[in-house]
A and B are shown apart, each in its own frame.
Chain A
Amino acid sequence: QKEVEQDPGPLSVPEGAIVSLNCTYSNSAFQYFMWYRQYSRKGPELLMYTYSSGNKEDGRFTAQVDKSSKYISLFIRDSQPSDSATYLCAMTGAGSYQLTFGKGTKLSVIP
């Protein structure tokens, strides 16, 4: 079993839809959870950064962490064509700065 599992998609939704992206993990030591957005041929851009369990909202983006289930989610409300990208989840443990990434989910928002 890989440390971080993420459905690679592709995921295609109409403009305005709510998008749900998810990752599961096996390492209970992970405490810091991140979501990155990567456009084609570009470096990843940090979207959300959360610590431990709970929700965090930033504009149209909401990140959820459920440590008991080892499950994290990113919700995108009112999705836009400009949200079309690959979304990578990443996580790390306390005292560690090395990130473990999911494979990424490719999202397409159709106008």
Chain B
Amino acid sequence: GAVVSQHPSRVICKSGTSVKIECRSLDFQATTMFWYRQFPKQSLMLMATSNEGSKATYEQGVEKDKFLINHASLTLSTLTVTSAHPEDSSFYICSARGRTREGNEQFFGPGTRLTVL
């Protein structure tokens, strides 16, 4: 299947700092990328949808000034958590959708575990 990578896999930071998470589609061009967060024993909650070259669309309740998303190329999207606080600690997962041999399915990255102290 198509491969999506995320970096870093785990990050621990102090409260008030900013953290950047990268999401890459390794063997296909991702026309659309999605960012999710997942709390323990909960399902994935969509935060935002980004299309290459355009502004991200945020879900209701997600602060766009706090969670900055950039999708500058067909293989890379970044999520920056600005001025992170302990309540932002979560598992952040990206997914990518594009033309692959499987069709137009959505493929997920391995996730980034963010811990804000």
Contacts and interface: CB of A to CB of B under 8 A. Distances in A.
Given A8-B41, A44-B93, 7 more contacts: A41-B91, A43-B6, A43-B110, A98-B49, A99-B106, A102-B43, A103-B42
Given A97-B49, A97-B97, A98-B49, A88 B43 contact: yes
Contacts of B6: 43
Interface in B72-117: 91, 93, 95, 97, 102-111, 113
Q: Is the interface of B mostly helix, strand, loop or mixed?
A: strand
Interface of B: 1, 4, 6, 32, 34, 41-44, 46, 49, 91, 93, 95, 97, 102-111, 113
5 interchain residue pairs of minimum CB distance: A43-B108, A43-B111, A43-B110, A103-B43, A101-B43
Contacts of B104: 97
Contacts of A41: 91, 111, 113
B47 to A, nearest CB: 11
